[in-house]
A and B are shown apart, each in its own frame.
Chain A
Amino acid sequence: MAKHRLGGQTVKLENPPCILSRATIVGKKEGQGPLGEYFDVVLEDDLWGEKTWEKAECRMYQEAAKMAITRAGKQPQDINYLFGGDLLNQIITANFAARTLGIPFFGLYGACSTLTESMSLGAMLISAGYADLVLCVTSSHFCTAERQYRFPLEMGTQRPPTAQWTVTGAGAFLLSNDMKPPYITHITTGKVIDYGITDTNNMGAAMAPAAAATIKAHFEDTQQGPDAYDLIVTGDLGWFGRELTIDLLKKEGYDISDRFIDCGCEIYSKDQDVHAGGSGCGCSAVVFGAYILRKMEEGVYKRILLLSTGALLSTTSCQQGESIPGIAHAITIDMDRG
């Protein structure tokens, strides 16, 4: 087995890279939520003066990327690689933003799991010595996702209680080999898991088994339990998916309920009429970037496990009656380099 592998799915990074800087941009509704004060930029209008929702999302992506670079005192040409993606077909947001940014680019699609997918790959590249600076950026936008996956905005439809609200937001993270906490120490790459859920209005149920499986694999591979973490954070399972994940892990003998939050549950308050919570590539990016990393810097949390969770469906697959596969990638963020 390769030197730094632990068990079946986990890597312990030899030279843990740090998260050097970050930036988050969110839409109006997210700004009005309980975490509003933590975000770097809150848009007044989700169109941001652009002609289309897609252009607005692309600009959010670009601006977040530039902001993270500037904050670290770097230039775009200093960045070795850009990893990232979004929810739109052919990841046009990330591709179009990369056209402007001019950084060597790997486009990724992992639905809402793209954030930790990007950070996993970026961190491994740095640890192995193939890069000094890697930028990871993901975004989602309520209006672009809604028209692609669901219904037109002005259509008078009722959303069932398990439906989730796509977060309008972009988050950028600059990883480097500097010695400045927090560090990414472990990576557990998820498998695609499908328990046959077909209801596109119930993504939480489709993704919960993947989240539970990755958390379990991480615990087994690292031979640690929930106690090793101050907080376990999932991307966008929502209220219902969070409950399912707790139950699934209890069956495996792990009780994480006292240290488990979901970004989709945190970003909106319950009176914002979002039903089961937030979702989207932007969801875990902005909550992790703005809120959780801040709390880590303040010393509230020392070691966390972050999982972005993705539902790998397309409009074609669900119209053809296919079930919804889920995936979740985990990374350990630690204030100590280990």
Chain B
Amino acid sequence: MDVKQQKLNKEYQIYVQRKMPKSNLLRDCILAFLVGGIICTIGQAVNNLGKSYFNLNTEEASAFTAIVMIFIGALLTGLGVYDDIGKYGGAGSVVPITGFANSIVSPAMEFKKEGYVFGVGSKLFSIAGPVLVYGISASVLVGLIYFFLK
């Protein structure tokens, strides 16, 4: 690409950036705060339920909470409600573990027509896969560093 064209591109990109309609950051953040906060409060209630009702210890209660929240996220996705929550909640519905469940169910459900192995089976992990890859790898790395420093 010649220099003149590059300059033209640069100018256009800056111009587009300047003129582009922007997301309403304040509104988005307030909604994310509320939706994320509510989901975590529900998580706290589930956690407390696990501790008081099922007599679980802290670790068990965490696992219990994760399982229940994932169930809720998967169910709401299946019922077609989670994408509506996501439209308003933004990161407030993506970041909690229910959003992780949404990212697992939605592609799997969408690609069911491509069959149960390459549709549902592999698409379950189209987004969750990278999360597990990076999360688990990082944890192994942390464990090993901890081992050598100890």
Contacts and interface: CB of A to CB of B under 8 A. Distances in A.
B82 interface: yes
B20 interface: yes
B50 interface: no
Interface stretch (A149-157, A168-176, A225-233, A289-297): A149-157
B9 A196 contact: yes
Contacts of B87: 156, 158-159
Contacts, number: 83
B102 interface: yes
A155 B28 CA distance: 18
Residue from A147, A157, A162, A244 whose CB has the most chain B CB atoms within 10 Å: A157
A231 B113 CA distance: 44
A85 interface: no
Contacts of B19: 240, 243-244
B20 A205 contact: yes
Interface stretch (B51-59, B60-68, B104-112, B138-146): B104-112
A202 interface: yes
A156 B9 contact: no
Contact of B99 (A156, A194, A196, A202): A156
B150 to A, nearest CB: 41
B103 interface: yes
B20 A158 contact: no
A194 B106 CA distance: 34
- Kindly list the 6 A-B residue pairs having the minimum CB-CB distance in the complex, ordered from nearest: A156-B86, A152-B110, A152-B106, A196-B9, A155-B106, A161-B21
B83 A153 contact: yes
B16 A51 contact: no
A155 B102 contact: yes
B83 A154 contact: yes
Interface string B60-91: 00000000000000000110101111110110
A89 to B, nearest CB: 13
B102 A156 contact: yes
A185 to B, nearest CB: 32
Nearest to B105: A154
Interface string B104-131: 0111011101000000000000000000
Contacts of B78: 154
